[in-house]
Amino acid sequence: MSGPGDLMLEVTGLSVHFGGLRAVDNVDFNVAKSEILGLVGPNGAGKTTTFNTVFGMIKPDAGRIALRGADVTGLPSERINALGVARTFQNVRPFAELSVRENIMMGAYGAGFCGVAASALRLPRHRRLERLAQERADHWIARLGLAAYADLLTTALPFGLQRVAEVARAMASAPDLLLLDEPAAGLNAVEKQELSRMLITINQETGCSLLLIDHDMTMVMGLVQRVVVMDFGKKIADGTPAQVAADRKVIEAYLGV
Amino acid sequence: MDLTSFAQTAFAGISNGALYALLGLGFSLVIRSTGLINFAQGDLMMVGAILTGALCRAGIPVAASAPLAIAATTVLSAGFYWFAIRPAAGATMAQVVLLTIGFAICLRGVVTMAWGSDPMMVPSFTGEMPLDVGGVSILPQELWLIGVLAVITLATGFFFRHTVMGLALRAGATNPLGASFVGIDPRVLGLLAFAASGFLGAVAGAVWSPISFAQVDVGLGAALKGFTAAILGGLHSNYGPILGGIVLALIESFSAGYISSAYMDSITFGLMLLVLVLRPQGLLGTSLSMTKEERPEEVLSTKARPTGFTSRDLAMIGIIAVVLTGLGLTMNGTWLTSGIFAGIMAIVVMGLVLLTGYGGQLSLGQGAFMMIGAYATGFLTVKLNWPSYAAMLIGVVLAATVAFVLGRLIFVLRGLYLSMASFGLLMISLTFAREWTNVTGGPSGLPGIRPLAIGSFVFSTDRANYFLIAAVSLVALLFCLSLARSRLGRALLAIRTNEPAARACGVDVTRHKLRVFAVSAALASIAGSLYGHYLGFVNPLPFGIDATIAQLTALTAGGFLSLSGSYVGSAIVIALPLVITKIAGTTSSQFSAGVQYVAFGILLIGVVHAQTSSVFVRMGTLARGLIRVGAGAPRIAAGKEHP
């Protein structure tokens, strides 16, 4: 087990209500540094809500979210991003008017804000930040094999590549924790394998923790080191893929026995 | 104030409130079913009133002419939705709102052409004799107005609670996609909403105009009142707009009675702002209807943009500089003067390109910022004898600060609230320019502004001023282009196309919208100062609604994302009236004013439809296509060449 100093993300007693519905009900889990954690559960289990709450898109009704031990509960997305967290979306969300390269450069935006004067007059600060964005974009374009598509509009790419471009955009912010919302959705078997390999490589090379959610257990099981299972807003299991797969409650949740 | 006059004031408030309530209800229905702010709402009311008056003038009794006018307006509004809004499926929200502005201008223009702009008498439904109720004088027509509102209130309640259509409207408003899955066609909802908007507007106009007059220029002002009513009571609640209308009119009525009637528009606007900030869901609304459904992506361009400055940008600036110089050396008289005004307008429009094209926000209030610049220049140089450039700088700082504060309040809300809020700012600025005579000189203005000078060279002739303004506009173009091609510009495009994803990349959305709004305000302020220096005096006239209409038309004609297009758009907008007067030469000035409105309206609607890019970009594409055909190269769009 990892000590508290090694924790990247700690979620304690998280609850989110929509009207009378307890979408997330008193959920605890954590992600260690450099760990790959899967958050799984049937449709409607509250995975995406948990995810969006961690990323500051929804304000929780109760509970605490901490990054490297510091409380970040209720901070907006852009602040969470600045603290070293990036995410991808289930339905890819490229910036439709920007090229693949510019999309990935946008990922590095959190490195610093540049005001009107500094931007329009191309002051050193703008040049420095722009160069940083270029370098990171070049790195991830090369690393994830997007070189041939870099100057096309992202929307012109096939879906699988759009997803890769989105991972590149997320990684361009040099995150310590990457949140992946159903990264395998809409991909075929080959693409899923390639994606798994890509994510493992990213994890090994950068030491970035990965938190991915999926309702399909098969890809998750081969990829993650630990799994948290949710059902009806509650956490029902937490352990290695093998432990979780043998858990009665998990089997019930999936099979409805 | 004694009890009788208190009661009289209260009653005046309620009968005015009935008018605002009907308009507010129209706004609310359209927003709930389509998410749009219908800027034609006030002009639909005007059409209802004028048609009733015109039919009565033609000898038809009011009992028949009012229903006829209402029916005609309803059909007109529904037709506008079906033939102008529905087909523009690919347009962004800002563009569709511009369509409604285009419609409003067309209505105003056609009515001016047909009946002139003099107030028109409309006979009362049942007698003109005021009734005396305990000392309070009540017109029978006011009772009609209140009665009509009561009937419509009841009918609204019934419609939403007990009819399938009402249920469909509520469903479609909260979740259009889900509603479409169960067979509710959003286009039919839009059609119904616009028909209802026309109906409510016309009813308000027909019943209210006998109390006052039917006037052609009340449209946008009335729209502001109706919108405030809807905001105040709650845009998304059934009875909210009705309550909001009455509360608004009571507040106006009593503040006019107890405080001052001169600044009444400021009170309306202040109230709207206060509600938007403190209670955006309105008095009766439970919560702002936040649907889980994402807005469609707002995509204006399907071409990859260059990163950073390119040689093409520089070539474009060079070409523009050459063309501007050529025009400056050859034009004379009216054309030269027009060139100066076009240059000033282009500076404002560049700000709008950044704000609307890049930032996705629509402002109807750039005239307010122009006024800040013009009056800062006028007041500081004439009355306090400041140097010109210091005064200009103060104007810029002031305009940017006002934009910053207004934006701070408005950008918390998603959607096009800035369009109405900025329009309110324009109305309040116009009021101050007219009433705060110590500083502004009132309607007659501030004379005696010296022309600008550099060292001992004074820009006294038209030609010198032309080159001065051309030079300033080129600097502005360079600045804006550089900004658009910077990481800030890229972030703005990211926000417009996908806000959650932009935030996930670390973009602080409000911060960016504020910056770009302040830049657009600063540019407008510079334009205003230049205007003051060139003419030698400032008055409120050139900064009103007509200026807003002209700027928006120029923005649309030049292209939302095309900074160089600002020149083309402004030139078209400035030249159009000249051409119209030349053609319409012998006819009355009212008629040609009407033609001008219609021309601007058609231009707005036409261009939004023809794009969704721009005259400028289109011509570019066409030219490139022709060159390619000429060179015999295959015509394949760049984006489609998959490697």
Residues B200 and B341 in one domain: no
CA dist B468 and B479 (Å) reads 17
Cα–Cα distance list, B129 to A165, B11, B123, B139, B150 (Å): 75, 17, 12, 7, 23
Residues B106 and B240 in one domain: yes
pLDDT given for residue B643 in this prediction:
34
* Total domains in the fold of chain B: 2
Q: Quick check: B577 and B101 in contact, CB under 8 A?
A: no
Residues B360 and B475 in one domain: yes
Last residue of a domain, one of B483, B516, B543: B543
The structural domains of chain A, ordered by start, are 1-84+175-180+194-257 (3.40.50.300), 95-173 (no CATH)
Phi first, then psi: give them for residue A193, nearest 5 degrees. -60, -45
pLDDT given for residue B623 in this prediction:
62
pLDDT given for residue B525 in this prediction:
97
Residues B422 and B335 in one domain: yes
Residues B322 and B251 in one domain: no
Mean pLDDT, chain B cut into blocks of 10 residues (643 residues total) = 83 91 92 86 96 93 93 96 82 87 95 90 85 85 91 87 79 71 79 93 93 86 90 85 92 82 79 82 62 54 68 89 94 92 97 93 94 95 92 96 92 79 90 89 89 91 95 96 92 90 92 95 97 94 92 92 93 90 74 89 88 51 59 40 36
How many beta-carbon pairs under 8 angstroms link A with B? 127
| Residue A255 DSSP code | H
The answer, as to whether pTM is greater than 0.80, is: yes
Domain that holds residue B182: 3-278
Task: Tell me what ipTM this predicted complex has.
Answer: 0.91
Is residue B338 included in any domain, yes or no? yes
CA dist B404 and B401 (Å) reads 5
Is residue B476 included in any domain, yes or no? yes
CA dist B577 and B571 (Å) reads 11
CATH number at residue B161: 1.10.3470.10
Q: A249 CA to chain B: closest CA distance, Å?
A: 31
Is residue B567 included in any domain, yes or no? no
Q: A172 CA to chain B: closest CA distance, Å?
A: 9
Nearest CA-CA partner of B382 in B451, B449, B453, B460: B449
Question: Which residue in this structure is represented by tokens 């070049």?
Answer: A138
Set of chain A residues whose Cβ sits within 8 Å of the Cβ of B506: 78, 81-82, 109-111, 173
Is residue B173 included in any domain, yes or no? yes
For residues A108-120, b (16+ Cβ closer than 10 Å) or e, as one string? bbbbbbbebebbb
Last residue of a domain, one of B505, B523, B543: B543
Residues B332 and B256 in one domain: no
pLDDT tens digits for range B193-217: 999 999 999 999 999 999 888 888 8
Q: A163 CA to chain B: closest CA distance, Å?
A: 13
Cα-Cα-Cα-Cα dihedral sign, residues B46, B52, B55, B57: negative
Residues B416 and B522 in one domain: yes
Last residue of a domain, one of B513, B543, B573: B543
CA dist B354 and B113 (Å) reads 35
State the best of A59, A88, A106 to mutate against chain B, taking most chain B CBs within 10 Å.
A106
pLDDT tens digits for range B442-459: 888 899 899 999 988 999
Is residue B509 included in any domain, yes or no? yes
Set of chain A residues whose Cβ sits within 8 Å of the Cβ of B480: 120
Residues B220 and B112 in one domain: yes
CB-nearest to B302 from A105, A120, A153 is A153
Closest Cα in chain B to A93:
B501
Is residue B261 included in any domain, yes or no? yes
Residues B119 and B227 in one domain: yes
Residues B226 and B336 in one domain: no
pLDDT given for residue B183 in this prediction:
75
Mean of the per-residue pLDDT values for chain A? 89
Cα-Cα-Cα-Cα dihedral sign, residues A106, A108, A113, A117: negative
**Straight-line distance from the first to the last Cα atom of chain B, in angstroms, rounded to the nearest whole number:** 81
Q: Quick check: A108 and A136 in contact, CB under 8 A?
A: yes
Closest Cα in chain B to A133:
B487
pLDDT at A198 over 60: yes
Residues B239 and B173 in one domain: yes
CA dist B203 and B136 (Å) reads 26
Is residue B628 included in any domain, yes or no? no
What tokens appear for B628 in the block?
A: 């390619």
Which amino acid, one-letter code, is at B191?
L
Q: B165 CA to chain A: closest CA distance, Å?
A: 26
Determine which of A115-119, A189-193, B339-343 has the lowest per-residue pLDDT on average.
A189-193
Residues B344 and B209 in one domain: no
Which amino acid, one-letter code, is at B339?
G
Neighbouring CB atoms inside 10 A of A6's CB total 13
CA dist B242 and B265 (Å) reads 20
Closest Cα in chain B to A106:
B505
CB-nearest to B500 from A57, A133, A156 is A57
Phi first, then psi: give them for residue B188, nearest 5 degrees. -70, -40
pLDDT given for residue B625 in this prediction:
62
Neighbouring CB atoms inside 10 A of B587's CB total 14
Is residue B115 included in any domain, yes or no? yes
pLDDT given for residue A2 in this prediction:
45
Neighbouring CB atoms inside 10 A of B539's CB total 21
